[in-house]
Amino acid sequence: MEKQPLSIVILAAGKGTRMRSNTPKVLHKICGREMLYYSIKESLLLSDDVCVVLGFEGEKIENTMRIYFEDKIRFLYQDIENFPGTGGALKSYQPKYQKVLVLNGDMPLVQASELERFLDTDTPITMSVLESRNLSGYGRVIITDGEVREIIEEKDASAKVLAINTLNAGVYCFDKEILESYIPKLSNHNVQGEYYLTDVIALARQDSIKIAPLFVQLENFQGVNDKLDLAKAEEVLNARIKAFWMKRGVIMHLPETIYIEESVKFFGECVVENGVCIYGNSKITASHIKAHSIVESSTIMDSDVGPLAHLRPNSIVRNSHIGNFVETKNSELNGVKVGHLSYLGDSEVGSGTNIGAGFITCNYDGRAKYKTKIGKNVFIGSDSQAIAPITIEDDCLVGAGSTIRRNLKKGEFFITCGKEVIKEGFFYKFFNKKA
């Protein structure tokens, strides 16, 4: 997509009261990234002059967005106290170019290809319109003879106006001069006592300026005002992420049951079964993730994982088999088989090693975490534990049911043998029964 001589301003100064949260609305996450991240990312595909207007918790939002975008965008702080509202947000905004696209920051589903459509018309104002009867929270758009006349906010609307099914989706394309002349003329004489950007429409109309409606789909222009909207937006975005990867060769079983975050990457041919969740900076290469496994910020190559495995952050798994009820964390496994019911934390395991069912790395003593090193071609019998810090060198053999408390040298056999106690016929004596 080519960059256009276009300025984009994203309004993100509001508190988002309807979210009922201490987190500013635009920092609520969708598929692992803050909602505002998505509209900035799409805007940068179209423009080299992207500005975000901040107010409530502005510094926190700026710092978070700088992690992703560094200096590629600029920030402007709104004087919320004196000029509240979406119109107040643009009070001191100066665009670089003639055409200015204004986006609400609470529209994470908007895509650059859709925003580009606003540039096709040459009217001084083009605004997005959704057609729907069952949505609330949107301004009603009065359209006659194909032109927009006025936007009436829901809170200011009469019952008759509320019945109108053309809604303001919250994206506008203005000629620079329109903002320059009408933003200073806005007033706050309305139910909310705010300066509404939407009143620019009525003011421009009084001067016979043409305002074109651009009909858009909810799929791209859904606003997020509460946590129900947030969940709906995540569903749409997650479906897009999965479609992207399936088109690139990832096989997914029952994809609607799978959750994959924006930052996850696949390479080569991978299979992801139903109910799998993959989070953070996970990188999956030529691997099979079986049903209901959870993978968090981990790297998996040429391996199969699950069903019902849990790879916690910084697990690096190469050429290995990880079976059901196995949990790993901050561990590197190269050519390892760990088939059942094990925990490998803060560990390193070498190739050819087989970890029996129920093996645990005891990596935490209540105060600090310690490392477990297991070499190549080691066989660890079932139901064993290694008390870290500990090193088990290559070619060791550990008998089932062992508690390994000391380092094992190359080629050693180790088993913990408790004293065996056998009492003949004890069962019958204990329960006072006959044999």
Residues with catalytic roles: 340
Q: Taken in order 112, 113, 114, 120, is the CA torsion positive or negative?
A: positive
The CA distance from 387 to 406, in Å, is 8
What is the distance, to the nearest Å, from the Cα of residue 285 to the centroid of all Cα atoms in its chain?
21
Q: Which of 8, 9, 11, 101 binds ligand UD1 (CB under 6 A)?
A: 11
**H or E element, residue 142:** strand 140-144
Min dist. Cβ of residue 181 to ligand UD1 (A): 18
Min dist. Cβ of residue 225 to Mg ion (A): 5
Q: Which is nearer to Mg ion, 223 or 275 (CB)?
A: 223
Binding partner of 258, given Mg ion, ligand UD1, none, CB within 5-8 angstroms per partner class: none
Q: Which of 66, 74, 137, 411 binds ligand UD1 (CB under 6 A)?
A: 137
Residue number closest to ligand UD1, CB atom:
139
Which of 185, 182, 169 minimizes the C-alpha distance to 209? 182
Q: Degrees (nearest 5) of the Cα angle 239, 320, 295?
A: 30
* 233 touches ligand UD1 (CB under 6 A): no
Min dist. Cβ of residue 26 to ligand UD1 (A): 6
Min dist. Cβ of residue 118 to ligand UD1 (A): 15
Q: Which of 58, 223, 306, 323 binds ligand UD1 (CB under 6 A)?
A: 223
Q: Which of 106, 114, 150, 199 binds Mg ion (CB under 5 A)?
A: 106
The CA distance from 427 to 34, in Å, is 62
Which DSSP string corresponds to 157-215?
--HHHHT--EEEEEEEEEEHHHHHHHGGG----STT----TTHHHHHHHHTT--EEEEE
* 86 touches ligand UD1 (CB under 6 A): yes
Min dist. Cβ of residue 138 to Mg ion (A): 8
Q: Which of 16, 32, 223, 275 binds Mg ion (CB under 5 A)?
A: 223
* 80 touches ligand UD1 (CB under 6 A): yes
Give the DSSP letter of residue 217: -
Q: With contacts defined by CB under 5 A, name the span among 95-103, 104-112, 248-256, 294-302 that binds Mg ion.
A: 104-112
Which of 323, 331, 370, 330 minimizes the C-alpha distance to 349? 331
Which residues have CB under 8 Å from 357's CB, separation 6+? Answer: 339, 340, 341, 342, 382, 383
* 105 touches Mg ion (CB under 5 A): no
Which structure tokens are listed for 214? 């651009």
Q: Which is nearer to ligand UD1, 11 or 390 (CB)?
A: 11
Sheet holding 271-272, edge to edge: 251-252, 271-272, 288-289, 304-305, 321-324, 336-340, 353-355, 379-380, 397-398, 413-414
Min dist. Cβ of residue 205 to ligand UD1 (A): 15
In this structure, the number of other CB atoms found within 10 A of the CB of residue 60 comes to 13
* 38 touches ligand UD1 (CB under 6 A): no
The CA distance from 250 to 267, in Å, is 9
The CA distance from 336 to 318, in Å, is 8
The CA distance from 141 to 129, in Å, is 7
Per-residue mark of binding to Mg ion, 130-159 (x: CB under 5 A): ------------------------------
* 55 touches Mg ion (CB under 5 A): no
* 148 touches ligand UD1 (CB under 6 A): no
Binding partner of 175, given Mg ion, ligand UD1, none, CB within 5-8 angstroms per partner class: none
The CA distance from 55 to 262, in Å, is 27
Which residues have CB under 8 Å from 417's CB, separation 6+? Answer: none
Q: Which is nearer to ligand UD1, 44 or 276 (CB)?
A: 44
Per-residue mark of binding to ligand UD1, 152-171 (x: CB under 6 A): -x-------------xxxx-
Residues that bind ligand UD1 (CB under 6 A): 11-14, 53, 55, 78, 80, 84-86, 88-89, 104-106, 137-139, 151, 153, 167-170, 196-198, 223, 225
Residues that bind Mg ion (CB under 5 A): 106, 223, 225
